[in-house]
């Protein structure tokens, strides 16, 4: 049995976009990485929020637009993944529609709470559409909306955020 190295997700995503005809996509790249922020308390005691960019939404919410939708959807973390719907332009939706946990793992996170691997799950999960073509809109609209939603989550303050990108 051979070991494989880490997956180069950036290159893999570039290849996927090229296959979809987005050869001219301009990536938002920063010269400096974001500052490292150490975890302040053990994960087993932490309240974790899910932020996922796979285009998840639930009954009664408007589906995301295909491109440059910088809105967010708050989905109760207690809602089973089977009630979650997805729409996105950059990945095959069929597997995620069969099991939304692939892109929006609320069931798996609740299992980690039950197993006492993480302390608790935030009241809501935050869903958004990945693949925003406007860097400016992602920085000025989407990122502040996510930050506001996580910062003002009802109940226990959020200690950690699990980002599930697509």
Give the 3-state secondary structure of the chain: CCCCCCCCHHHHHHHHHHHCCCCCCCCCCCCCCCCCCCCCCCHHHCEEEEEECECEEECCCCCCCCCCCCCEEEEECCCCHHHEEECCCCCCHHHHHHCHHHCCCHHHHHHHHHCCCCCEECCEEEEEECCCCCHHHHHHHHHHHHHHHHHCCCCCCCCEEEEECC
**What is the band of 2 on the pLDDT scale with cuts at 50, 70, 90?**
very low
Average pLDDT score over the chain: 89
pLDDT, tens only, 62-102: 999 877 899 999 999 999 988 999 998 878 889 999 999 99
What percent of the chain is modeled with pLDDT above 90? Answer: 60
């Amino acid at each position: 049995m051979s070991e494989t190295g880490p997956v180069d997700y950036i290159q893999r995503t570039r290849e996927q976009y090229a296959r979809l005809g987005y050869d001219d996509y301009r990536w938002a790249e920063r010269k400096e990485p974001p500052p490292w922020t150490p975890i302040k308390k053990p994960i087993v005691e932490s309240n974790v929020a899910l932020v996922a960019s796979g285009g998840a939404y639930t009954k009664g919410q408007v589906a995301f637009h295909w491109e440059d939708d910088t809105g967010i959807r708050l989905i109760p973390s207690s809602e089973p993944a089977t009630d979650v719907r997805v729409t996105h332009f950059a990945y095959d939706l069929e597997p995620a529609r069969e099991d939304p946990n692939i892109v929006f793992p609320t069931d798996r996170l609740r299992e980690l709470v039950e197993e006492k691997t993480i302390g608790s799950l935030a009241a809501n999960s935050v869903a958004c559409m990945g693949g925003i073509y406007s860097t400016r809109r992602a920085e000025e609209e989407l990122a502040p909306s996510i930050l506001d939603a996580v910062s003002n989550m009802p109940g226990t303050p959020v200690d950690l955020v699990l980002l599930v990108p697509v």
